Amino acid sequence: MSPHADFDELLAILQLDQLDENTFTGAHPSKNPVRTFGGQMMAQAFVAAGRSLTHPIPPSALSVHFIAGGDPELDLEFQVVRLRDERRFANRRVDVVQKGQLLTTAMVSYLAGGRGLEHGVQPPPLGDPLTVPPIDDLLRGYEDVVPHFANALRPIEWRYTNDPAWIMRDKGERLEHNRVWMKAQGDMPDDPVLHAAALVYSSDTTVLDSIITTHGLSWGHDRIFAVTTNHSVWFHRPLRFDDWVLYSTSSPVAAESRGLGTGHFFDRSGALLATVVQEGIVKYFPARPTGSV
């Protein structure tokens, strides 16, 4: 399947079916991991919340707690609870349900704040995304090492500015950050909800990588178990996801089999668009020394 076909699938699953005023259903794409991809669930929940607004207000924050894994063979139901509706403020809770089981709860806040004080963290060096290789080039020869990446749906174009985990591991190196240029693989509708939803979808990729690359480890090469427990996004400025944005991530802490990944999305001018924090359970099982019993 071509990247543009994958992108069309992403747009299709973000077009939810509305059952009643507060209930939506969403499908899965043709290529899925064993459990529903968290970024997909978050993006669909975000769209459900946005479609329930009584008038347009930009999003300010999304906070998601993952409770159980979803079955990719079944549709997801999104139950919206309208918590607040005012001219400049709104709040929604979205419960993601499958066969009566609660999988995820998302809280979405909206705020039309207007102009005010502005500052932001400085971006890392911003080069030209077209001067770094696409993800397909970096996966060549590693298809059997990281098949879950090689065979995944890729509606978003990725271009690492650094070696990804699997190449870094081959070189015996460590890295305390990961930086990836991203943009949609096709033209997006002129709909702010969908552009923000594409960012939400993408925010669940690479954000935990720095937990393992800090220790010189990699998916595929090493025995690592990882699952996301909660994820938050703060939206700072309007954005378009069919132009390049840089996702710069790092990990401030890992302890008690949990790790925290933090990230910032910058546009090509260096403006900070969104901030991400994700916590995951991350367990590493070292290989036994040769000859041990």
pLDDT score of 141: 94
Is the Cβ–Cβ distance between 156 and 210 less than 8 Å? no
pTM: 0.95
Q: Compute the distance between CA of residue 64 and CA of residue 48 in angstroms, rounded to an integer.
A: 14
Please indicate, yes or no, if residue 291 is contained in any of the structural domains: no
Percent of the chain beyond pLDDT 90?
93
Please indicate, yes or no, if residue 280 is contained in any of the structural domains: yes
pLDDT score of 204: 97
Please indicate, yes or no, if residue 293 is contained in any of the structural domains: no
Q: What is the pLDDT of residues 220-248, one digit of tens each?
A: 999 999 999 999 999 999 999 999 999 99
Structure tokens, 9: 């699938």
**Considering the chain, what is the average pLDDT of its residues?**
95
Domain of 108: which CATH number? 2.40.160.210
Lowest mean pLDDT among 55-69, 193-207, 275-289: 275-289
**How many CB atoms neighbour CB 171 within 10 A?**
10
Whether 137 shows a pLDDT value over 90: the answer reads yes
Predicted confidence band at 114 (pLDDT cuts at 50, 70, 90)? confident
The region that residue 206 occupies, defined by phi over 0 for left and psi between -120 and 50 for alpha, beta otherwise, is left
Please indicate, yes or no, if residue 241 is contained in any of the structural domains: yes
Whether 3 shows a pLDDT value over 80: the answer reads no
Report, as an integer, the average pLDDT of 155-173. 95
Is the Cβ–Cβ distance between 194 and 151 less than 8 Å? no
Please indicate, yes or no, if residue 16 is contained in any of the structural domains: yes
What residues make up the domain containing 162? 3-113+127-284
Please indicate, yes or no, if residue 290 is contained in any of the structural domains: no
Task: Please return the burial class of 144, using the count of CB atoms within 10 Å of its CB with bins 0-12, 13-18 and 19+.
Answer: exposed
Please indicate, yes or no, if residue 118 is contained in any of the structural domains: no
Structure tokens, 279: 């916590």
Task: Please return the burial class of 163, using the count of CB atoms within 10 Å of its CB with bins 0-12, 13-18 and 19+.
Answer: middle
Please indicate, yes or no, if residue 289 is contained in any of the structural domains: no
What is the number of structural domains in the chain? 1
Is the Cβ–Cβ distance between 179 and 247 less than 8 Å? yes
